[in-house]
Amino acid sequence: MDYTNFGKAGVRVSRLALGMGMRGQDDAAEAQRAVEHAIAQGINLIDCANIYGLMDDRANVRMSEAILGKALKGKRNDVLITSKVAQVVGPGENDYGLSRYHIMREAERSLKNIGTDHIDFYLVHVFDQQTPLEETVRALDDLVSSGKVRYVGCCNFAAWQVMKALWTADKMGLDPIRAVQTEFSLLKREPEAELFPVCVDQNLISTPYWVLQAGLFTGRYQQGKEAPADSRFANRPGLAKRFEKDEAYNAVQQVVALAEESGHTPTEVSIAWALSKPSVGSVIIGSSKPEQVKANLAAVDVRLGNEVLGALDAITAVPAVVRTPP
């Protein structure tokens, strides 16, 4: 396993992180084994959130945090964990967002659910237009100062939102965000236009998710053919419908061909391509079974040549930045 610094922080994280979304996984014991296997193989970064659960995604149950806590027994000091806050966790008016009230309440709940006295990386899950950013960054800084959180970061922010968060923390003399989590793949390249350059310039680590697009870039699915019975597409028809597009399958076919030529699997090539981007420190893999973890781990040792990387880049285009005139 390779490791890298967590942005400006001195702490080092594995270049693959295990995501605890566990969507499509309805076996808590197997999910726990996947976490334990990942840790045994050198993955020291586990990405979780207060809304992550098993197949039914029951937000209030928070099954993934509980599973993570069980898997960490006797290993807590060797593993860095992430949790998140902002998404809806109930029907109440204060059951979402980035108010001080919600952040503090959910941080305490996550600590209890995981069974730990601190969260290494606490990320705001989305940008909250309704709450003053000063209130949010102050609450996060207080969690860091109290020792309940080690570092903070953000998810699904636009480049300007990242810069505003950094500026606000700097202006107030508070702990800054150090990580940016975003969706990124050959079908979702918007981060390359502005977000990734901001990460490089500000020395932030980016930890992209959905690099394999829910398993599409494993090469397991073929256009016009029924998905395997045990696959995520078979269990989640709505997800499959999202990718039933010629552009998606054309990209997959080209990745499969390049993988065969280079002697690697489509999974390895897709993850290695993402890891080659300057700002990408760790790719979040959504493995929910030990065998899936094993298949993804091999990508860390893959070094693609410039010719292959160029061919991968040419499969899809980076969307142009559209700016509205003043």
Q: Which residues contact 146 (CB under 8 A, 6 or more apart)?
A: none
Whether the Cβ atoms of residue 17 and residue 83 lie closer than 8 Å to each other: no
Reported as a single tens digit per residue, the pLDDT across 111-138 is 998 999 999 999 999 999 999 999 999 9
Whether the Cβ atoms of residue 194 and residue 321 lie closer than 8 Å to each other: yes
Q: Is the pLDDT of residue 48 over 60?
A: yes
Catalytic residue among 3, 52, 101, 221: 52
Q: Which residues contact 132 (CB under 8 A, 6 or more apart)?
A: none
DSSP 300: G
Q: Is the pLDDT of residue 60 over 50?
A: no
SS3 content of the chain, % helix, strand, coil (to 5): 45, 15, 40
Reported as a single tens digit per residue, the pLDDT across 103-112 is 999 999 999 9
Reported as a single tens digit per residue, the pLDDT across 254-313 is 999 999 898 899 999 999 999 999 989 999 987 777 778 888 888 888 888 999 999 999
Q: Is the pLDDT of residue 82 over 60?
A: yes
Q: Across the chain, what does the average pLDDT equal?
A: 86
Q: Is the pLDDT of residue 31 over 90?
A: no
Q: Is the pLDDT of residue 155 over 50?
A: yes
Reported confidence tier of residue 55, pLDDT bands at 50, 70, 90? very low
What is the identity of the amino acid at 222? Q
pTM given for the model: 0.87
- CA torsion sign for 20, 178, 279, 78 is negative
What local confidence, expressed as pLDDT, does residue 231 receive?
60
Percent of the chain with pLDDT strictly greater than 90: 52
Over residues 61-77, mean pLDDT: 82
- 209 included as an active-site residue: no
What local confidence, expressed as pLDDT, does residue 208 receive?
95
Q: Is the pLDDT of residue 58 over 50?
A: no
- Report which of 60, 110, 64, 67 is spatially closest to residue 85, judged by C-alpha positions: 110
What local confidence, expressed as pLDDT, does residue 324 receive?
58
What local confidence, expressed as pLDDT, does residue 149 receive?
96
Helix H or strand E encompassing 143: helix 133-146
The tokens for 227 are: 């998905």
Q: Is the pLDDT of residue 193 over 70?
A: yes
**CATH fold label, 3-220+277-301:** TIM Barrel (3.20.20)
Q: How far is residue 162's CA from residue 204's CA, in Å, rounded to a whole number?
A: 10
Which of the two residues, 121 and 52, has the higher pLDDT score? 121
What local confidence, expressed as pLDDT, does residue 213 receive?
85
What local confidence, expressed as pLDDT, does residue 173 receive?
96
What local confidence, expressed as pLDDT, does residue 59 receive?
42
Q: Which residues contact 280 (CB under 8 A, 6 or more apart)?
A: 184, 196, 206, 207, 208, 274
